[in-house]
C-alpha cells in the first residue's frame, strides 16, 4: 500500500475532537476553559440558555466539542532511538472499536491476539514497587510472550506504563528472531495529555513523524518508544486524564472476536484487566466492566485501590456475602452490617475522599461480582508461574460467565490451545485424571490444525480423538479454506476456483480506503473464499504431482472415469451446485490427506508428525519431497523457497533412512516395497515417485541399486563378465554352456544377495509374498499363458501361499529366453547394432553417396532409420497406461528424446533434399550434420557404465560453465574485432570480409594464429591491395591504414592478455570448481540416471534395429489383432491386495516404529537435549529452594508467635504467683533445657 493511499481514507472515517464552546474554569479567573484550553482557542462562550436563567457550570465533551477529520496518524519515529517505526492515530472517544481493531490488524499488520491484558492503574509519577516491577517483567511479559498477547497501558513514560515498555524491550531483545508469538504493547492515552503532541500533527499523515523526547531518564507524559502502536483518544480536553470509556469499549469488542487465523479459533479472545494500585475514581471503571463479565486480576499489596479491593474481598465473611447478595432492597435488612464494614475500609484506604457513600455503593456492586475477581499476592507467591495464574483467572471467570456444557475443563483446554501451552495441558488436563470424550476435543483439534500447533494435535491423538471420526471430506475442505492468503497455495486454489466459476477473482474485501461509506467491520476484515472444494485441491495436486500418479479425490467426486479436463470441470461444477453428499463421508486415508494439507502449507513440524502417523512411510516421504520441490518452483519469495527446499530435503533423507532400516531388516521385502502400487498415492510406486521428485540420494541407496541391478541382469547373475556376454551374443549357442551363470530357481525367489539368516524363510507361506522375482522368462510365461495375472513380475507375489505357476518350458526354450529377454542383452545388442549403423552411415556419406541416385547401401540406411523411427513411436504412443497426451509430454521432457527427434527430422530433411538435383548439395550437408547428432547419441548409451557415467555427468555440468565463458568471450571478441577492423581499414564494404575479420580472426588469435604481416604495417605483406574506392567496392582488397597502426598493436596485446590469461584461466578455474563440486556427488547423479536407462531397455524388444521390425510386427499382431494385453506396460509396478498388502503394510509400520525409536534415542543423547533436561532440573531445584525459603519465613513467623505466647504465659504465671487470691496445688513447671543440654553435650 502506497503512502498516498494511506493518507486518502483515514481522515474520512476517523475523527478528532475539538472544544468549540468555552466553559469558564472558576479556578483560572476566566482565562481557561474547563477543557484546559485558553479562551482564545474557542469560537463561542457558554453563558446560559436563551433566557439567561441557567449558567452552564460543567464541561461535557459530547455537548461542547465537535468532530473534525483527524490530523495526526501514520508512523512514528522516535528521535535517537534505533527502533522500527511505531503506529499512531488520533481518534475521537466515540469512534467505533470495530473500525479501530480492524485498522490495527488488517492495515497496521499487528498479529491477532490470543490474549489481551489491560493494565489499569499505576498512572502518574507514583513510584512502582520493586516486586511489582518483577511481576511485570518476569511474570506478565514473559507469559504474554508465550501466549502471543497484547498488553494495553497508557503508553506513556511514567508509572506502570514505563515499566511495561522496558520489560517488553528486554524480552524482545532476549527472544529469538524466529519466535512465533511476540508481545504487542499498545498504548491508549489521552491526546491532550501527551507532551509534544504538535510534532505528530499533519493533516496528510506522517510517514514517519519524528518525535523528540527531551529527557529519557525522568518520568513524563511523553510517548514510550518501546510500544508498537498508540491510540491517542481525543475528547477535546487538554492536560486531563480520561479516555477510559473508549478503552473499555475496545476491550469489550475484542473479547467478542475469535482467536486464530481469520477467527478460526475455538474460543473468543480472552481479555483480562489487571489492577495495579489505582485511585478511588477507578471504582466506576471496575464496576462497569465487571457487569460486562470482564475478569479482573488484582495485585494485592501494590497500593491504592488494589489494596482496598483485596482487603474487602479477602476479609469479609462468606455469610455476610450471602446475605448481601440476596434479593430485595440493598439498604434494608442484613446488608447493613456489610455496608458498615465496607464503609470502614473505604475510610481506612481513602480518608481524603469526600463522597464515601458513592464509593461504598460501587464497592458493594463490585462485591456482588466478586467471582470475576482474582486476588494475586505477588509479593508472597513470586512471578514464576504467572502464566498459570492468568489461565486459572480466565477459566474461573468463564465458568461463572456461563454454564459449561459437557466437561468442565473445556474452557481451560481451549485457553491452553489458544496460547499454545502444551506443558500446561499435559500437567493440568492430560495427566490421567480426566476422561476426555471425542466431543470435548473436536473443536480444539480444529483450532490446533488451522493455527499450526502440532504438539496439541499429537496430544489429542494420543488422548482419545479418533481421526477417522474427525476427518470428513467436508472438514478437509474447511481446512483448505483456512489457508492464509498471500501463500502460493492460496493463489493456486483461487486460480482453480476462478477457472471453475468462470469469473475473475475478486480481491479480498479489505479495501478500507476505497470509500468511506463502505467502511464496516465485515468489509475491513478479509477472509478466505468459502467456495474452495476438493476439486480445486485435486487440480492443484495434479499440477504439482504431474503424471506420476492418478488425480487425488476424483473417486470421491465421481470423476475417476473422466480423462478430459474440460468434461471433468463441467461434471464437478454440476456436482458442487447440488447437495454435495460426499462432504459427510469419512476420509478414506485421513493421515495421508492431512499430510498433504500440511506439506502444501510448508508446515515442517506438523507435516513430520502426520508422516509418522501415515502408512507407506517411504512413499509418503518421497511424495512430500515431490510436492515441496514443485511448490518451491512456484514460490516467489526467496525465504519461503529456501524453507520448502530444506523441508523437501528433510523428507528425502527420511525416505532414505527409512528404506535403509527396511533393507537391513529384509532385503526381498524392501524390493517389494519399491515397486508396490500404492492405493493411497494414486497407484504410483516408490521408484516412480522418487524419479519424479528428483530424489538422487534415495536412488543412490544400495538397496535401490541392488534392485535395479537385479532387474538389469534378469535371470543372469550379476557377476557375469562382459566378454562372455559379447561372445554369447555373436555365438548364441554358448548360452547353453556354463560360460554364463544363471540364477537358480531358489535364487529367483530369494534374491541373489539374500541374507543367510533368511534362507530358512524362503519357502514359508508367510514370507512368499515379500519375495520379488524379476525373471523375464516368467514375464513371457505370464504374458502368454496367464493373462489374468496381477503381477507383471511373477505370479508368486499375490498374497497366495501356493500360487499357480505357468507350465514349465523345455530347457532349450527357457534358457534361450532367459538370455535374450534380459535388459542387459537388449542393451548390448542395441549398442553393437548402433555402432554398425554409424559405420554404415559414415560409409554412405564418404563413399557411396552418389548424385545420380541412392545406392543399395543408402536404401539399407533408410530402412534402418525407419526402424528407429518405429521404435520411437512405440515408446511414445504404445507404452504405459497414461493418455497419449501425457505420454507425448513425458517423452518431450527427456533431453535425449529431443536429440532423437532432431536427428530424425534432420535425416528426413536431408533425404528429401538429396532426391532433387537442385538441392542435392544442401541435403548432403544436412546429412553430414545429422551424422554428428547420431554420434553424440552414444553419450547416453554409455551413461550405464560405472566409470564413464559419472564423467558424462561432469561434462554436462561443465557445458553450463562454457556458456557463461562464451558470453564474456563474445563481448570481448566484438569489442576488439570491431575496433581492430575499423583501425586497420578505413573503408571496406565487403560483409564477408567484415564478419571474418571481426569474429573469426580474433577467435583464431586466442589459439596463436596471428597474421603479423597483416596486423603490423612494419612487416611486408604480399597481398595486393588498392585505395581506389571503386575497386574496393568491386571486391578487391583495401590497403591498410598506417597512421593508427600503433593502436592496433596495443589492442592486440591487451586482447591476448585478457583472453589467453584472464578468460582462459577463468574457464579453467570454473571447470576445476565444477569438477570438485560434482565429483563427490557424481556417483549419486549417475545412479539416479541409471534408473531411466534400465526402464527404457526393460521395456524394449529383445531385437535391435533394423531387426526390431520383426518384434514390432509380432507386437502389432498380439496387441491389435489378437488383443493380447501387454505385461511390460506395467513395468516396475506390483499390485498387492488383501492379506499380502496388509502383511507388507504391517511390516513397514514396524520398521517405521523401530526407526523412530532409534531417532528419538539419538536425539535424547544429543548435547542440546541433555542441556534442556539439565535446565528443567535446575528450574525444579530453584523452585524447591524458593518453596523452602517460604517455609523458612513461615517457621520464623511461627517461632516469633511461639516466643510471644511463651512470654505471655510466663507473665501470667508470674502474676498469678505474686497474687494471694488462691493457692496453687503445686508449683509452676520449670522449663526443660533438653535441647540446650543435648547441644552442649555434643
- pLDDT tens-digit map of 970-1025: 999 999 999 988 988 888 888 888 888 899 889 988 888 888 877 777 777 778 88
- Determine the average pLDDT of the residues in 208-219: 73
Of the candidates 956, 955, 900, the one whose C-alpha atom is nearest the C-alpha of residue 930 is 900
Least confident piece of the model among 332-336, 742-746, 1183-1187, 1197-1201:
332-336
**Can you tell me the distance from the alpha carbon of 93 to that of 188, in angstroms, rounded to the nearest whole number?**
11
Return all residues near 268 (Cβ < 8 A) that are at least 6 apart.
255, 256, 257, 258, 259
pLDDT at site 219: 66
**Can you tell me the distance from the alpha carbon of 312 to that of 531, in angstroms, rounded to the nearest whole number?**
56
Grid cell for residue 566: 474440460
pLDDT at site 926: 96
| 150, pLDDT greater than 80 | yes
- Report the percentage of the chain scoring pLDDT > 90: 24
Helix or strand or coil: residue 336?
A: helix
**Can you tell me the distance from the alpha carbon of 520 to that of 1080, in angstroms, rounded to the nearest whole number?**
62
Tell me the residue length of the chain. Answer: 1242
Least confident piece of the model among 10-14, 94-98, 1235-1239:
1235-1239
| 1133, pLDDT greater than 60 | yes
- pLDDT tens-digit map of 1140-1181: 999 999 999 999 999 999 988 888 787 777 787 787 788 777
**Can you tell me the distance from the alpha carbon of 222 to that of 157, in angstroms, rounded to the nearest whole number?**
6
Q: Which residue has the cell 491477532?
A: 112
| 321, pLDDT greater than 60 | no
682: left (phi over 0), alpha (psi -120 to 50) or beta: left
Q: Cβ distance 678 to 1153 under 8 Å?
A: no
Beta bridge partners of 232: 90, 189
Q: Cβ distance 714 to 822 under 8 Å?
A: yes
Give the pLDDT band (50/70/90) at residue 143: confident
Of the candidates 59, 74, 86, the one whose C-alpha atom is nearest the C-alpha of residue 240 is 59
Grid cell for residue 979: 575496433
- pLDDT tens-digit map of 235-282: 888 877 765 588 888 988 998 888 766 566 667 888 889 898 888 888
pLDDT at site 1155: 93
Backbone angles phi, psi at 151, to 5 degrees: -115, 120
- pLDDT tens-digit map of 818-877: 888 889 999 999 999 999 999 999 999 999 898 888 999 999 999 999 999 999 888 887
* Mean pLDDT score across all residues of the chain: 80
Amino acid at each position: 500500500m502506497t503512502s498516498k493511499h494511506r493518507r486518502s481514507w483515514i481522515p474520512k472515517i476517523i475523527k478528532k475532537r475539538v472544544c468549540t464552546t468555552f466553559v469558564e474554569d472558576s479556578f483560572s479567573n476566566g482565562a481557561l476553559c474547563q477543557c484546559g484550553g485558553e479562551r482564545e482557542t474557542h469560537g463561542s462562550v457558554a453563558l446560559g440558555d436563551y433566557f439567561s436563567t441557567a449558567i452552564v457550570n460543567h464541561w461535557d465533551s459530547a455537548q461542547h466539542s465537535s468532530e473534525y477529520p483527524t490530523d495526526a496518524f501514520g508512523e512514528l519515529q522516535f528521535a535517537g532511538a534505533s527502533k522500527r517505526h511505531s503506529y499512531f492515530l488520533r481518534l475521537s472517544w466515540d469512534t467505533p472499536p470495530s473500525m479501530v481493531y480492524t485498522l490495527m490488524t488488517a492495515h497496521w499488520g499487528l498479529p491477532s491476539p490470543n490474549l489481551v491484558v489491560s493494565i489499569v492503574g499505576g498512572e502518574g509519577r507514583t513510584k512502582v514497587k520493586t516486586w511489582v516491577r518483577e511481576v511485570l517483567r518476569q511474570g506478565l511479559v514473559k507469559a504474554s510472550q508465550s501466549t502471543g498477547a497484547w498488553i494495553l497501558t497508557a503508553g506513556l513514560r511514567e508509572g506502570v506504563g514505563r515499566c511495561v515498555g522496558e520489560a517488553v524491550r528486554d524480552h524482545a531483545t532476549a527472544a529469538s528472531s524466529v519466535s512465533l508469538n511476540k508481545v504487542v504493547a499498545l498504548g491508549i492515552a489521552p491526546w491532550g495529555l501527551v507532551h509534544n503532541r504538535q510534532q505528530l500533527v499533519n493533516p496528510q499523515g506522517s510517514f514517519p513523524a519524528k518525535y523528540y523526547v527531551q529527557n529519557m531518564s525522568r518520568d513524563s507524559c511523553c510517548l514510550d518508544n518501546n510500544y508498537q502502536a498508540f491510540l491517542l483518544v481525543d475528547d477535546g480536553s487538554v492536560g486531563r486524564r480520561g479516555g477510559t470509556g473508549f478503552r473499555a469499549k475496545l476491550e469489550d469488542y475484542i473479547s467478542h472476536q475469535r482467536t486464530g487465523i481469520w477467527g478460526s479459533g475455538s474460543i473468543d479472545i480472552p481479555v483480562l484487566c489487571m489492577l495495579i494500585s489505582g485511585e478511588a475514581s477507578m471504582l466506576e471503571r471496575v464496576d462497569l466492566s465487571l457487569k460486562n463479565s470482564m475478569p479482573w486480576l488484582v495485585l494485592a499489596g501494590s497500593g491504592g485501590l488494589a489494596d482496598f479491593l483485596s482487603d474487602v474481598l479477602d476479609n469479609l465473611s462468606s455469610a455476610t456475602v450471602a446475605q448481601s447478595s440476596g434479593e430485595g432492597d440493598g439498604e434494608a435488612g442484613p446488608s447493613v452490617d456489610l455496608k458498615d464494614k465496607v464503609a470502614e475500609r473505604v475510610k481506612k484506604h481513602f480518608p481524603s475522599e469526600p463522597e464515601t457513600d458513592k464509593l461504598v455503593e460501587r464497592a458493594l456492586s463490585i462485591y456482588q461480582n466478586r467471582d470475576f475477581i482474582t486476588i494475586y499476592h505477588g509479593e508472597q507467591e513470586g512471578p514464576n508461574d504467572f502464566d498459570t495464574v492468568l489461565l486459572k483467572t480466565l477459566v474461573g471467570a468463564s465458568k461463572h460467565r456461563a454454564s459449561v456444557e459437557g466437561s468442565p475443563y473445556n474452557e481451560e483446554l481451549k485457553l491452553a490451545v489458544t496460547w499454545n501451552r502444551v506443558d500446561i495441558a499435559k500437567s493440568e488436563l492430560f495427566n490421567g485424571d480426566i476422561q476426555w470424550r471425542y466431543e470435548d476435543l473436536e473443536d480444539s483439534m480444529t483450532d490446533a490444525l488451522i493455527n499450526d500447533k502440532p504438539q496439541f494435535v499429537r496430544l489429542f491423538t494420543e488422548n482419545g480423538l479418533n481421526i477417522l471420526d474427525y476427518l470428513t471430506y467436508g472438514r478437509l475442505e474447511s481446512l483448505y479454506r483456512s489457508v492464509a492468503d498471500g501463500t502460493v497455495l492460496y493463489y493456486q486454489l483461487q486460480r482453480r476456483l476462478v477457472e471453475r466459476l468462470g469469473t475473475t477473482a475478486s480481491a479480498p474485501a479489505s479495501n478500507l480506503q476505497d470509500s468511506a461509506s463502505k467502511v464496516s467491520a465485515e468489509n475491513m476484515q478479509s477472509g478466505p473464499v468459502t467456495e474452495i472444494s476438493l476439486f480445486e485441491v485435486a487440480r492443484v495436486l495434479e499440477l504439482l504431482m504431474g503424471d506420476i500418479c492418478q488425480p487425488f479425490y476424483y473417486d470421491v467426486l465421481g470423476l475417476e472415469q473422466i480423462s478430459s479436463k474440460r468434461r471433468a470441470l463441467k461434471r464437478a461444477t454440476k456436482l458442487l451446485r447440488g447437495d454435495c453428499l460426499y462432504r459427510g463421508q469419512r476420509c478414506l486415508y485421513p493421515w495421508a490427506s492431512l499430510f498433504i494439507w500440511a506439506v502444501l502449507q510448508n508446515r515442517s513440524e506438523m507435516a513430520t508428525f502426520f508422516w509418522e502417523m501415515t502408512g507407506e512411510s517411504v512413499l509418503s516421504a518421497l511424495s512430500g519431497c515431490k510436492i515441496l520441490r514443485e511448490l518451491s518452483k512456484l514460490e516467489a519469495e526467496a525465504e519461503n523457497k529456501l524453507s520448502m527446499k530444506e523441508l523437501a530435503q528433510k523428507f528425502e533423507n527420511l525416505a532414505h533412512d527409512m528404506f535403509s532400516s527396511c533393507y537391513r531388516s529384509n532385503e526381498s521385502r524392501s524390493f517389494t516395497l519399491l515397486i508396490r502400487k500404492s492405493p493411497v498415492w494414486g497407484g504410483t510406486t516408490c521408484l516412480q515417485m522418487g524419479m519424479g521428485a528428483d530424489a538422487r540420494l534415495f536412488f543412490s541407496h544400495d538397496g535401490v541399486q541392488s534392485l535395479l541391478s537385479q532387474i538389469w541382469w534378469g535371470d543372469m547373475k550379476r557377476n557375469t563378465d562382459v566378454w562372455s556376454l559379447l561372445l554369447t551374443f555373436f555365438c548364441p549357442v554358448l548360452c547353453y554352456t556354463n560360460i554364463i551363470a544363471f540364477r537358480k530357481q531358489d535364487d529367483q525367489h530369494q534374491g541373489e544377495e539374500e541374507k543367510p539368516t533368511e534362507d530358512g524363510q524362503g519357502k514359508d507361506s508367510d514370507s512368499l509374498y515379500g519375495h520379488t522375482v524379476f525373471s523375464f522368462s516368467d514375464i513371457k510365461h505370464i504374458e502368454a499363458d496367464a493373462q489374468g495375472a496381477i503381477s507383471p513380475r511373477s505370479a508368486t507375489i499375490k498374497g497366495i501361499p501356493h500360487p499357480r505357476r505357468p507350465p514349465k518350458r523345455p530347457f532349450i526354450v527357457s534358457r534361450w529366453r532367459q538370455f535374450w529377454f534380459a535388459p542387459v542383452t537388449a542393451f548390448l545388442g542395441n549398442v553393437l547394432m548402433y555402432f554398425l549403423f554409424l559405420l554404415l552411415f559414415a560409409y554412405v556419406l564418404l563413399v557411396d553417396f552418389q548424385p545420380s541416385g541412392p545406392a543399395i547401401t543408402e536404401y539399407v540406411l533408410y530402412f534402418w532409420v525407419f526402424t528407429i523411427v518405429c521404435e520411437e513411436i512405440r515408446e511414445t504412443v504404445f507404452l504405459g497406461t497414461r493418455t497419449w497426451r501425457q505420454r507425448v509430454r513425458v517423452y518431450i521432457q527427456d533431453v535425449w528424446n529431443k536429440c532423437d527427434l532432431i536427428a530424425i527430422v534432420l535425416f528426413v530433411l536431408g533425404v528429401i533434399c538429396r532426391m532433387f538435383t537442385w538441392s542435392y548439395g544442401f541435403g548432403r550437408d544436412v546429412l553430414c550434420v545429422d551424422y554428428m547428432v547420431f554420434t553424440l547419441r552414444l553419450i547416453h548409451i554409455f551413461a550405464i557404465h560405472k566409470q564413464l557415467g559419472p564423467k558424462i555427468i561432469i561434462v554436462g555440468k561443465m557445458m553450463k560453465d562454457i556458456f557463461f565463458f562464451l558470453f564474456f568471450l563474445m563481448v570481448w571478441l566484438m569489442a576488439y574485432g570491431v575496433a581492430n577492423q575499423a583501425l586497420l581499414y578505413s573503408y571496406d564494404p565487403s560483409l564477408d570480409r567484415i564478419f571474418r575479420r571481426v569474429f573469426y580472426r580474433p577467435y583464431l588469435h586466442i589459439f596463436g594464429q596471428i597474421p603479423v604481416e597483416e596486423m603490423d604495417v612494419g612487416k611486408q605483406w604480399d597481398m595486393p591491395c588498392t585505395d581506389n574506392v571503386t575497386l574496393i567496392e568491386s571486391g578487391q582488397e583495401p590497403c591498410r591504414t598506417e597512421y593508427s597502426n600503433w593502436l592496433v598493436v596495443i589492442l592486440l596485446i591487451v586482447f591476448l592478455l585478457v583472453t589467453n590469461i584472464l578468460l582462459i584461466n577463468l574457464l579453467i578455474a570454473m571447470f576445476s570448481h565444477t569438477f570438485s563440486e560434482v565429483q563427490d556427488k557424481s556417483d549419486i547423479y549417475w545412479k539416479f540416471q541409471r534408473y531411466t536407462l534400465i526402464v527404457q531397455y526393460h521395456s524394449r524388444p529383445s531385437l535391435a534395429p533394423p531387426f526390431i521390425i520383426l518384434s514390432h510386427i509380432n507386437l502389432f499382431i498380439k496387441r491389435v489383432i489378437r488383443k493380447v494385453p501387454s505385461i511390460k506396460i506395467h513395468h516396475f509396478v506390483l499390485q498387492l491386495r488383501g492379506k499380502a498388502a496388509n502383511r507388507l503394510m504391517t511390516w513397514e509400520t514396524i520398521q517405521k516404529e523401530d526407526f523412530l525409536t532409534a531417532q528419538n534415542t539419538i536425539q535424547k543423547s544429543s548435547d542440546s537435549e541433555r542441556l534442556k533436561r539439565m535446565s528443567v532440573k535446575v528450574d525444579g531445584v530453584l523452585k524447591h529452594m524458593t518453596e523452602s525459603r517460604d517455609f523458612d519465613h513461615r517457621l520464623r513467623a511461627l517461632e516469633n508467635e511461639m516466643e510471644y505466647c511463651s512470654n505471655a504465659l510466663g507473665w501470667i504465671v508470674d502474676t498469678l504467683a505474686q497474687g494471694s487470691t488462691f493457692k496453687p496445688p503445686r508449683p509452676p513447671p520449670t522449663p526443660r533445657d533438653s535441647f540446650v543440654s543435648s547441644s552442649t553435650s555434643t
